[in-house]
């Protein structure tokens, strides 16, 4: 299939941007972003029924109308999206697949980063978070090698502290309770 779905068409007119969250878990982050930014359309990808049900409850409770859901692997949706059609993308606390034989399952890999680079608009942000330092090194290694992305960190505090406009997730809270300090990485899509 030729990619070409313009995600703006999934929402009511007047949006300023479309953001994509991959694996939204319980949905607290995407729901908070949607409430804070009613001018932005958000697409959430989550294949697990419990996560979908949790987010649907938050949408209903908050009377949120700027979220659309994809209940399968995000890569399937990404394959259909038009070039440069996403203005911000989130990958927050993905499964690190810690065993070496499972590393091929990690979302951050050359093929997926190529797909992200294709769908992200010039200047768009790619926001990633993890509490697994081995996966953090993996993310940094792969993203630093990719010519389409530039790390926005100017110093250590830029990746040690979550930005104010980035709501906490249950996975971050759990990591902190268990004594793990998350890393928050922000990359920008360089101009084509």
Cα-only R_g, the chain = 16
- Written as six digits, the tokens of 117 are 């680079």
Catalytic residues: 95
C-beta separation of 171 from 131 below 8 A: yes
- For β-strands 183-189 and 149-151, DSSP reports them as antiparallel
Q: Where are the alpha helices (DSSP H) in the chain?
A: 28-36, 49-62, 74-80, 110-119, 133-145, 157-160, 170-177
Query: Cα separation of 4 and 154, whole Å?
Result: 35
3-class SS of residue 183: strand
Closest CA to 93 of 49, 42, 51, 147: 51
């Amino acid at each position: 299939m030729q990619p070409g779905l313009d995600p703006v068409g999934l929402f009511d007119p007047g949006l300023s941007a479309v953001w994509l969250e991959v694996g939204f878990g319980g949905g607290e982050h995407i729901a908070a972003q949607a409430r804070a930014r009613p001018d932005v359309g958000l697409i959430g990808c989550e294949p697990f029924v419990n996560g979908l049900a949790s987010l649907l409850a938050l949408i209903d409770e908050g009377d949120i109308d700027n979220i659309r859901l994809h209940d399968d692997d995000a890569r399937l949706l990404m394959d259909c999206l038009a070039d440069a059609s996403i203005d911000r993308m989130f990958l927050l606390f993905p499964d690190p697949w810690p065993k070496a034989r499972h590393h091929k399952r990690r979302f951050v890999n050359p093929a997926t980063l190529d797909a992200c680079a294709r769908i992200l608009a010039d200047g768009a942000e790619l926001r990633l978070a993890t509490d697994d330092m081995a996966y953090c090194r993996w993310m940094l290694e792969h993203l630093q090698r990719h010519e389409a992305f530039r790390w926005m960190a100017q110093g250590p505090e830029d990746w040690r502290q979550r930005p104010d406009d980035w709501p906490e997730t249950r996975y971050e809270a759990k990591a902190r309770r268990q004594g793990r300090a998350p890393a928050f990485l922000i990359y920008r899509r360089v101009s084509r």
